[in-house]
Amino acid sequence: MSEPRRTAVGRVRHLRRRIQVSARRHLPPGARLLVGLALILGGLFGFLPVLGFWMLPLGVAVAALDIVPLWRCLRRARDRRPPR
């Protein structure tokens, strides 16, 4: 039997996690914050064809690797989510 199909939300979460882990491993701490801010800035221009609104949450996730209070806030919000 094949493994169950992932939902679109599951694929997005998996991709976000992979990018976060890659950024943590390959970028120095100051550069992670700059990359995160650049993604957030690009997300503000989401109406343009190449850039997209997908860049906003990804930028927050990458920048959160360097900002401990933001990381704690995101973790608390995730824990408050109702179980599936």
The pLDDT assigned to 2 comes to 46
Q: How many domains does the chain have?
A: 1
Residue 41 domain-assigned (yes or no): yes
Q: What is the mean pLDDT of residues 70-76?
A: 78
In a domain, 54, yes or no: yes
- Domain membership flag for residue 3: no
Q: With helix as H, strand as E and coil as C, how does 10-73 read?
A: HHHHHHHHHHHHHHHHHCCHHHHHHHHHHHHHHHHCCCCCCCCCCHHHHHHHHHCCCCHHHHHH
pLDDT tens figures, 12-67 = 888 888 988 888 888 887 788 888 889 889 888 888 777 788 888 888 888 878 87
Rounded Cα gap, residues 15 and 38, in angstroms? 19
The answer to the question of residue 72 being in a domain is yes
Position 68 scores a pLDDT of: 75
**1 pLDDT tier (thresholds 50, 70, 90):** very low
- Residue 4 pLDDT: 52
- Structural domain containing residue 43: 8-80
